[in-house]
Structure 1
């Protein structure tokens, strides 16, 4: 099980990303628009840099929903390989068959 503080920190980051998503998208559109004057684009870049760091989507860490483990994460299932194996062995993952030989 991962540290509770790390899991909670990641949840706060997700909330920040969600709240600032529209503003970031708007500012990035201004920065990338080659037709606008360079001064306006630079002002937009400064505003973008002034936003909280944790409001950037790249700061989010994919973590297992069951255990909070940050590595060996399957995006489609939103869980780690270890949690997947344990739940699959019990029969809680539809379509997953435990292999034995």
Structure 2
């Protein structure tokens, strides 16, 4: 299981991203509409003003159960370890496990 502090840090990033989402989208639309270089530079400066952790690229997909940051399946929202356990105990309908 992931450390609690890392999970909390990720939740904080998600909240910041939600808060500044509209500002980022509107600024990016303005950049595509403006043709002068000086106006674009001004908008880019405005894009740099929100906190860095509010950028969507800073977000990391984590396992819903354990908080593991790697080997996650988007469809289930689980890491490979938990997914395998749940398939073996028949907790995920429609998923079949394989063994060889």
Scaled by the length of structure 1, the TM-score of the pair is: 0.89
User: 1:47-58 to 2 correspondence within 5 Å?
Assistant: 47-58=46-57
Is residue 30–residue 36 contact of structure 1 (8 Å, CA) maintained in 2? no
User: 1:1-101 to 2 correspondence within 5 Å?
Assistant: 1-33=1-33, 35-100=34-99
3-state DSSP of counterpart to 2:95: coil
3-state DSSP of counterpart to 2:22: helix
| Change in 2 beyond 3 A, CA 1:100/1:37 | closer
Scaled by the length of structure 2, the TM-score of the pair is: 0.90
Deviation beyond 6 Å, 4+ runs, structure 1: none
Q: CA RMSD in A?
A: 1.4
1:64-96 CA-partner distances (Å, limit 9, x unpaired): 001101111101111111010111122111112
Structure 1 residue ranges without an equivalent (≥5) = none
Structure 2 residue ranges without an equivalent (≥5) = none
